[in-house]
Amino acid sequence: MYSPCVWLLFTSVFLSQFANPCNKLSFVVNKWLTIPLKRAFIKKYCFYDACLQVGMEVKSVPNGLEINDNLCNVYYDVKEFHQKPTVTWKYAEKGVLYTLVMVEPVHSEGKYYHLHWLVVNIWGEDLENGKIVGRNILDYYRPFCIQGDGIRLYQFMLFAQTDQLVDIKFPYKETVGKKS
């Protein structure tokens, strides 16, 4: 049985904060980070679409509950994802660098996202084996809810990088997860 606060997960491949996200070729977070993408990996993305990333799998730790292209838009108790999940993509290419992003869309605004996890420079061979080893720009910030929140939506996205990202700083890292 699920608690009153559950979350909805799905995987997708492309995100932008611009008016027409389906035509853009870069991912922008608060205008401080732009991640270049390879055109071959761009697929149509819109705010509530689901199951776009074929071959991607997210598993909760320690229970191993799955989200993938055949099992998406699923409801799980937030407790299942208190620990950093395992993420794999069976089509990751050896020698290619990837970026992993976990966001929570802000429903009231329709175009903003709360960033929960950002890892860059993940090698394809590691991603294929579920090893998210790269440069952690923002450590995994687990899903949470307040009693009465209802359903919260979280998305996991992968991006192929054109280059290695070296000089990236997350200016708001010290404020993440702290109450004001």
Whole-number pLDDT of residue 161: 87
17-31, 122-136, 145-159, 161-175: least confidently modelled range? 17-31
> How far apart, in Å, are the Cα atoms of 174 and each of 116, 118, 120, 159, 169?
13, 15, 19, 25, 12
Domain 6-175 classification at class level: alpha beta
pLDDT, tens digit (0-9, with 9 covering 90-100), for 98-157 = 999 988 877 665 567 888 999 999 999 999 999 999 999 899 999 877 666 677 778 888
Alpha carbon distance 40, 24 (integer Å):
13
Structure tokens at 165: 């990202």
Identify which of 166, 154, 85, 58 has the alpha carbon closest to the alpha carbon of residue 115: 154
Whole-number pLDDT of residue 31: 34
Q: Assess whether pLDDT exceeds 50 at residue 178.
A: no
